[in-house]
Amino acid sequence: MLILGIETSCDETAAAVVADGVVTMAEELATQSGVHGKFGGVVPELACRGHVEMIDRVVERTLEKAGLPAGALDAIAVTAGPGLAGALLVGISFAKAFAYALGRPLVAINHLEGHIVAPVLSGHDLRFPAVALIVSGGHTHLYYVEGIGRYRLVGRTIDDAAGEAFDKAASCLGLGYPGGPAIDRVSTGGDLSRFSFPRPMMGRPPSSRPAHQAFDMSFSGLKTAFVRAVREQGSGDRAHADLAAGFQEAVVDVLVEKTLAAARHYRVRELILGGGVAANSRLRAVMADRAAREGYRLVLPGPRHCTDNAAMIAVAAFHRSHEAPMAALDLNAEPSLAL
């Protein structure tokens, strides 16, 4: 079964053809980070325009690379949400027209489900039940996953997403956008313990709180502490490396502890990591180490499949195509679509 995946929820225009839900035949990705870089974050109107300019070329090149005529496709899958409304609409409109013209089914996919199934693209098999941490520029969500299509949100950030915190910290150090990879790079060789940043909501929850809030997270206080520390300490490469390393360590610490706490609580042995921040080298190393020492099987996509891509949308569609009804041609963008 050949599925064309289309992803335009944020600032990457992406298409991929995936065979039988595992083998990527071809993929193309046009990034707009150069466009948004000077604004320090994604500008929705510019993202939307960028997708309009790129989408047909990206799909055409994907099919060319795969060496396939469009008629060979069995289904067209597209991200329906969550994401930027205008950006999503470009992918959805294109996918609808393409599916209609080819007489093939259209499959609407939740972007977060794409991140959960992405590890199969790196050769992993998914086993359930599992706890999945999806951590990106827009999301920091912990799910209890009973199986594909069966997700329960058990924790989330109550303010900023972890990726957003990385982006803000990087911009504070003058490192540009996207900030996560820059912080990751600058932290190498930095002293993790010179600056100790707060790890909010790491303690036990007050007994008045519902139990599930034990897995909630918060990153805005950390961001404020970081901005203050940079103002007080921050000039020179040495200070920047130490500040970045200390900040990264605090984020990683929170993400790892919350994920393991949820895994213990729900008695699962499988951990799934996804989203752009899962490309972070320190998060990968600490999570892998803890998982090995505490007896969990960690399923980690390769860095390329952590960040937004269209292959993961096609994989999710492959699993959906057996049971879910096909999307109708009045499919709309759902910027806050929940999983």
Rounded to 5 degrees, φ, ψ at 270 are: -110, 130
| x-or-dash string of contact with ligand KG4, 180-199, rule CB under 6 A | xx--x---------------
Residue 157 interacts with ligand KG4 (CB under 6 A): yes or no: no
Instruction: Single out the residue of 118, 169, 279, 313 in contact with ligand KG4 (rule: CB under 6 A).
Output: 279
**Cβ-count burial 188-223 (b if 16+ within 10 Å, e if not):** eebebeebebebbbeeeeeeeeeebebbbbbbeebb
Look at the block and give the residue holding tokens 């919350």. 258
Q: Residue 169 binds what, of Zn ion, ligand KG4, none (CB under 5 to 8 Å, by partner type)?
A: none
Site stretch for ligand KG4 (CB under 6 A), options 32-40, 131-139, 215-223, 225-233: 131-139
Residue 167 interacts with ligand KG4 (CB under 6 A): yes or no: yes
235 Cβ contact list (under 8 Å, min separation 6): none
Site stretch for ligand KG4 (CB under 6 A), options 30-38, 132-140, 143-151, 190-198: 132-140
**Ordered alpha helix ranges (H), 21-128:** 33-37, 44-66, 85-102, 111-117
Q: Which DSSP letter does residue 223 get?
A: H
Tell me, by CB under 6 A, how many residues bind ligand KG4.
19
Site stretch for ligand KG4 (CB under 6 A), options 178-186, 287-295, 312-320, 326-334: 178-186
Residue 155 interacts with ligand KG4 (CB under 6 A): yes or no: no
**Tokens coding 94:** 């294109």
**Tokens coding 149:** 């299509």
Give the whole-angstrom CA distance, residue 221 versus residue 165.
10
Residue 10 interacts with ligand KG4 (CB under 6 A): yes or no: yes
Residue type, 37: G
- In this complex, which beta carbon is closest to ligand KG4, that of residue 62 or of residue 280? 280
Residue 275 interacts with ligand KG4 (CB under 6 A): yes or no: yes
Tell me, by CB under 5 A, how many residues bind Zn ion.
2
Instruction: Single out the residue of 5, 21, 119, 179 in contact with ligand KG4 (rule: CB under 6 A).
Output: 179
Q: Is the dihedral of CA 99, 102, 105, 107 positive or negative?
A: negative
Look at the block and give the residue holding tokens 């604004």. 39
Residue 32 interacts with ligand KG4 (CB under 6 A): yes or no: no
Which residues of the chain form contacts with ligand KG4 (CB under 6 A)? 10, 136-138, 163, 166-167, 178-181, 184, 275-277, 279-280, 307-308
